[in-house]
């Protein structure tokens, strides 16, 4: 097994999504992705919020607009500048979130890591620091690809969400729950059948279709056609709890 490259920056060049030109453009995007924070807002309605690895800041924008005082830790300098200048939030640039978290004042009501833990060399340290920073009754939201998913069972090394070398760790849910429990974090709710998991599933099948037709332009059509077909054929498995493409897990500090 090969070790991850010492310098990961070339693998993140261009990021996952383009940074918008303005906060208004970001909010137009964020308006379609409020499903990411809807489960959390059943438990918390205001307070201090910390997001780990927000990239362009979709969740940050929605949480700020919901009335939260938002802080973010992000490794990309351009994203940090955007979050500060356009959203007006406190954004800290760091490639080591756990270390950056040690400098923050405790008492956060919400901490969110949305598909960022898998990118970190020591993700369990972020969970440990989150448990220290949360106020009693504070909520931790963790979302990651699901290595117990039906797609991974079928596609194995061709599963898109392995995303090597950028994804360094994938936790089975039972492992995540145990790590959180050992840090005095109690499970509130977990699902592998939410809307974002379905988005991930469509993306996985789309990219499989593209890989089968190595011809520019045609591969996009093949990806779209194959992705729609396979998403429909596998929808039942995808909606079976525990087998979805990703999971969203909420924990509360005791």
8 A C-beta contact, residue 198 and residue 227: no
- pLDDT by position in tens, the chain (length 254): 567 776 666 777 666 788 999 999 999 999 999 999 999 999 999 999 999 999 999 999 999 999 999 999 999 999 999 999 999 999 999 999 999 999 999 999 999 999 999 999 999 999 999 999 999 999 999 999 999 999 999 999 999 999 989 999 999 999 999 999 999 999 999 999 999 999 999 889 888 888 887 777 787 887 788 888 888 889 899 889 999 999 999 999 99
- Report the distance separating Cα 111 and Cα 14, nearest Å: 26
Question: Residue 79: what pLDDT?
Answer: 95
Question: Residue 1: what pLDDT?
Answer: 52
Question: Residue 14: what pLDDT?
Answer: 61
Question: Residue 100: what pLDDT?
Answer: 98
Question: Residue 2: what pLDDT?
Answer: 65
Detail the DSSP E strand segments found in the chain.
Answer: 47-52, 68-74, 90-93, 108-114, 134-145, 185-191, 246-253
Q: What is the pTM of this model?
A: 0.93
Domains of the chain: 19-146+163-193+246-253 (3.40.50.150)
- Give 220's contacts (C-beta < 8 A, 6+ positions apart): 210
* Type and span of the H or E element at 131: helix 123-133
């Amino acid at each position: 097994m090969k070790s991850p490259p010492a310098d990961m920056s070339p693998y993140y060049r261009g990021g996952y999504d383009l940074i918008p030109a303005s906060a208004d453009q970001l909010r137009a995007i964020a308006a379609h992705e409020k499903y990411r924070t809807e489960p959390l807002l059943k438990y918390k309605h205001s307070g201090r919020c910390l997001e780990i690895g927000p990239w362009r800041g979709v969740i940050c924008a929605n949480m700020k607009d919901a009335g939260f005082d938002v802080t973010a830790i992000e490794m990309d300098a351009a994203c940090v500048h955007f979050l500060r200048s356009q959203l007006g939030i406190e954004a800290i640039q760091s490639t080591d979130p756990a270390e950056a978290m040690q400098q923050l004042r405790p008492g956060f009501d919400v901490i969110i890591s949305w598909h960022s833990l898998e990118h970190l060399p020591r993700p369990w340290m972020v969970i440990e620091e989150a448990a220290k920073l949360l106020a009693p009754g504070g909520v931790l939201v963790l979302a990651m690809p699901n290595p117990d998913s039906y797609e991974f069972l079928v596609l194995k090394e061709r599963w898109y969400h392995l995303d090597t070398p950028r994804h360094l760790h994938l936790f089975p849910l039972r492992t995540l729950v145990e790590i959180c429990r050992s840090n005095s974090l109690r499970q509130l709710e977990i699902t592998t059948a939410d809307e974002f998991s379905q988005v991930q599933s469509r993306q996985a099948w789309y990219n499989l279709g593209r890989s089968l037709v190595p011809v520019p332009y045609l591969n996009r059509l093949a990806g779209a056609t194959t992705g729609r077909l396979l998403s429909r054929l596998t929808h039942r498995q995808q909606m079976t709890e525990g087998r979805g493409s990703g999971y969203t897990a909420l924990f509360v500090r005791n």
